Structure 1
Amino acid sequence: MTTIHLIHGEPAAAALRQALQARQPMTAASASAERVIALADDLTVGPLRDIDAEGNPGAAQRAAFWQRIDGVPATLAQDDCAALVALEDENDANAHVVIWHTHDAADQLALRRVCYRLRNAPQRLNEVRLAAADLATLADNPGEAVARLQVRLPDAAPISVLRITRLALEWQEAKFANGETRRWRDNTFTSGTWADLDALILDILGEAAAPSEPWLACDTLGAALVRGGAGFTVGEPVVLWRLRELAAAGELRLRDDLCAARTGAPAQDPRTARPISVHAAAHLSLSR
């Protein structure tokens, strides 16, 4: 029996593949029996309506959205749609599906989308509920993440029909709302706007550190947005896009290295200015 593992993001998928290989030597037979698919589309941002309609017209809308943002593959939305169509194909109709997810908003949306797409075959659906710590070291120490995922392999458990139905309905609600962003708070999704995110960015930049060091690096700002109550993990391409939009509107200043400062902060020579380190985000005064 083939088992297809779904997980959000290629780094996590690569770690899961290594975890599966470490469990037992990977032979040709086992490789065909265990497959890992990365769902790469970040469903917390951009349009969703019609994303699951026949022919995937919503994928074209999402492709147009992602084209506005640098650093995102042009086929991002189409690749996920194709992967889900393949899951429903007769060749995979009997395969078990295991959805790996954390409590992150993007993971929770991916979980709901898969439940919606496979709601008519609930006996195929299983899940592994991960803690945030299980994937926290992916960037700095991928070996630790692989080890954590390997330990979690036996935890795959069926999803009840009742829960699949509920999650599928919540996905339909998210699509119908079709917000610009989707916040995950108190186990509930609510729609947000770019204006909400922009206001939080400006608040964080306005409160950042000391006047003598007002510049925030993009990765620091992304972490601060999560800590400040954005309700979803704001990916670096989206952060940079919003910074460019705000800079074009005269709301903030960008250096050549894309560190940002609130308009009106004391000017500083970019040759000597230093971005605040990632670890300094813990010392920011963040609005909630």
Structure 2
Amino acid sequence: MTTIHLIHGEPAAAALRQALQAREAERRAETALAAAPAERVIALADDLTVGPLRDIDEAGNPGAVQRAAFWQRLGGVSETLAQDDCAALAAVEAADAHVVIWHTHDAADQLALRRICYRLRTAPQRLNEVRLAAGDLSGPPDAAASRLHARLPDAAPISVLRITRLALEWQEAKFANGEMRRWRDNTFTSGTWADLDALILEILDAAPPVNPPAAAGAPWLACDTLGAALVRGGAGFTVGEPVVLWRLRELASAGELRLRDDMCAARASTAGTGEGAAAHRSHTALPHTAAHLSLPR
């Protein structure tokens, strides 16, 4: 029987294909073994941590249209990725193959896991998983492929009880339909763009002073530097470059920061100084209340 491997992101999928090819080469070298069953790898591209989710799994995929409009607004990604994922999952549902879900503890992976469990909840016997460590997909492609090759024997069935719980949590996430979804302490909460904007401004305010001191203005931070700092600062999910750039453009339009052509950002001219920093601290705090989406485990 065919085995379908589902994993989030094309780089991870490429490493997994390489790992499976290495295992197939090993099997062929063992002439006493019968031919291995066919295996496919499907990369799920849609980052479910951001944007609307409601109706994403309904007949006709009306939610995919909403997500396409969201990604079009941001730019920098394929507008068809939501529809592509819907089509891929529909094909998996229609097949009778065993399914292996590869996931890390990253928020996007955890949401993809829950979505797949929801889509295949009526065929729980098909579902298996490999729980990856954070570093299993890091580094050069060959290194990631080698680590995934070592994890191939770890595929294990998902219990019916866990599938049911994960499917319910996906339903809760869709119903909440927050602007973004944060993964903290094994719990999803919904958040707003205002939360993310406040964290971006906090990071820019806390950036080291310009060196040498004679240089004028606040320090400039690159988009990728800001993205990594957002994760360390408690964003609760890996903030992709399209999202970071979109929020930087929005904040620049509001006069909160300056944005260069190379997509480096700095606080507006008054920020970073004693007077500007005090004014920023005096702003009304943005609400951080979040809808509870799943039970802690």
TM-score normalised by the chain length of structure 1: 0.87
Q: CA deviation at 1:265?
A: 5.8
CA distance in 2, matches of 1:257, 1:163: 46
Q: CA deviation at 1:264?
A: 2.3
Corresponding residue of 1:158: 157
Question: SS at the partner of 1:229?
Answer: coil
1:104 to 80, 103, 106: 106
Corresponding residue of 1:79: 84
Distance change in 2, residues 1:177/1:20 (3 Å)? same
Q: Deviations over 1:137-193 (max 9, x none)?
A: 2xxx11111100000000000000000000000000000000000000010000000
Q: How does 1:1-288 map onto structure 2 within 5 Å?
A: 1-25=1-25, 33-89=38-94, 92-93=95-96, 95-137=97-139, 141-212=140-211, 214-264=219-269
Q: CA deviation at 1:24?
A: 1.9
CA distance in 2, matches of 1:196, 1:158: 38
CA distance in 2, matches of 1:4, 1:193: 35
CA distance in 1, matches of 2:38, 2:152: 15
CA distance in 1, matches of 2:158, 2:189: 24
Q: Deviations over 1:87-106 (max 9, x none)?
A: 111xx12x000000000000
- Give the letter for the 1:64 counterpart: A
Q: Deviations over 1:54-90 (max 9, x none)?
A: 111000000000001121001110000000100111x
- Give the letter for the 2:240 counterpart: G
Q: Deviations over 1:102-150 (max 9, x none)?
A: 000000000000000000000000000000010122xxx1111110000
Q: Percent identity?
A: 82
CA distance in 2, matches of 1:65, 1:39: 17
Question: SS at the partner of 1:68?
Answer: helix
Q: CA deviation at 1:211?
A: 3.4
CA distance in 2, matches of 1:205, 1:18: 40
Answer yes or no: is the 8 Å Cα contact 1:8–1:107 preserved in 2: yes
- Give the letter for the 2:267 counterpart: R
CA distance in 2, matches of 1:31, 1:249: 58
- Give the letter for the 1:182 counterpart: R
TM-score normalised by the chain length of structure 2: 0.85
CA distance in 1, matches of 2:269, 2:111: 38
- Give the letter for the 1:230 counterpart: A
Answer yes or no: is the 8 Å Cα contact 2:51–2:178 preserved in 1: yes
Q: CA deviation at 1:228?
A: 0.1
Answer yes or no: is the 8 Å Cα contact 1:211–1:266 preserved in 2: no
Corresponding residue of 1:275: none
Pick the structure with greater CA Rg.
2
CA distance in 2, matches of 1:258, 1:30: 51
Question: SS at the partner of 1:97?
Answer: strand
What do you get for the CA RMSD once the two structures are aligned? 1.8
Q: Which runs of 5+ in 2 are unaligned?
A: 29-33, 212-217, 273-297
Aligned positions, number? 260
Answer yes or no: is the 8 Å Cα contact 1:200–1:228 preserved in 2: yes
- Give the letter for the 1:164 counterpart: I
Q: CA deviation at 1:30?
A: 7.0
CA distance in 2, matches of 1:254, 1:118: 45
- Give the letter for the 2:115 counterpart: R
Answer yes or no: is the 8 Å Cα contact 2:205–2:271 preserved in 1: no
Answer yes or no: is the 8 Å Cα contact 2:24–2:36 preserved in 1: no
CA distance in 1, matches of 2:257, 2:86: 37
